[in-house]
Homo-oligomer: A and B are copies of this chain.
Amino acid sequence: MTGKIRKGVRATILDVAARAGVSIKTVSRVFNAEPNVREETRDRVIAAAQEIDYHPNVAARGLAGKRSFLIGMVHGNPSPYYVADLNAGVLDRLRGEPYRLLVLPFESADAMSGKVLAMARSSGLDGLILSPPLGDDSATIAELTAAGFPFVRIAPSSATWLTPEVRMDDVAAAQDITEYLIGLGHRRIAIIRGDPSHPSCTARLIGYRKAMRRAGLEIDPMLVEEGLYTFDSGMMAARRLLASRTRPSAIFASNDDMAAGALFAANEMGVRVPDKLSLAGFDDNPIASIVWPRLTTISQPTIDMARAATDALLALLDGDESVGRVTMPYRLVVRGSTAPPG
């Protein structure tokens, strides 16, 4: 006789079945929301399960059903806020689903390249969410695609691969914010580029160029500075820009961390923002609202994007073949760091 609560030992599907007076297959049906179970039977099973505190054994499920209910996310982004938002979005979408989120260690895109599939396999993942910059690593995409491994990319910039992705129009957004600066009356507008291994870096530069060209403004090569999406790189780039004889009246930093770094540099050098220098960022992460003055920036719907990516991945895992590209809206947020040139 099974079905009683043996203390210290987890209840199994057999216990539930015995207690509810059904076969284990019926219990399985109930827990997997399969059809063909009479309502009354279902209720009895659920009651029995609750009484003995039954939780399906994930390992057994994974072994028999050939899925682990594990989704992986590779974090290779320098901004903890971005990562936190990604996490939040994924977990939010996963609520109520049987899937769980695994965080994979990340060294660098280079180091990971060509090893992602092996990691996914050895961790027993069902699917993967790739955030920048790994979502643009061609070796990774190639091996995953070749193996038929389900994955969704967040904010990739290359349209080369026709794999499911959730993106934002970085070019248009960068163009918008640059045009906003132009509209304020700025003419000498510098850009601090991001990490060149993140393709969003290129997209944002293109948007900037488009805006400048449309306004008939020349792009002085001196106005294009290199950065790495980090606070320090933004600070150093701004120091160079502000030290030059042909100092810009406005700087568009390709993300908020770098914009905060630029603001720091301006403070150091006694350049008042926004009186003497307008500063715009990109992302609208909390940093943008922490510094003084607050940053004008592009609000990127990171949480929504992560949610949408998870949604797409779940559909993929469900066998849905129609998952394609989703583009999410952005928003220009005007705050205190920008003003007409002084």
Binding site for B on A (CB under 8 A): 8, 10, 53, 55-63, 68, 75, 80-81, 83-84, 87, 91-92, 94-95, 100-103, 105, 118, 121-124, 148, 231, 260-261, 263-264, 267-268, 286-287, 289-292
Contacts and interface: CB of A to CB of B under 8 A. Distances in A.
A290 B289 contact: no
B68 A91 contact: no
A114 to B, nearest CB: 13
B101 A102 contact: yes
A264 B292 contact: yes
A123 to B, nearest CB: 5
Given A55-B118, A63-B57, A102 B102 contact: yes
Contact of A58 (B57, B68, B95, B261): B68
B59 A124 contact: yes
10 contacts: A8-B148, A59-B68, A60-B63, A83-B84, A100-B102, A101-B102, A101-B103, A231-B286, A231-B290, A261-B290
A80 B263 CA distance: 22
Contacts of A53: 118
Contacts of A92: 105
Contacts of A286: 80, 231
Given A53-B118, A59-B124, A80-B83, 20 more contacts: A55-B121, A55-B122, A57-B124, A58-B122, A58-B123, A58-B124, A59-B62, A59-B68, A62-B63, A63-B63, A80-B80, A80-B84, A84-B84, A91-B103, A94-B105, A95-B105, A231-B289, A231-B290, A263-B292, A287-B287
Nearest to A118: B55
Nearest to A101: B103
* Highest count of chain B CB atoms <10 Å: which of A60, A61, A80, A122: A80
A38 B206 CA distance: 61
Nearest to A117: B53
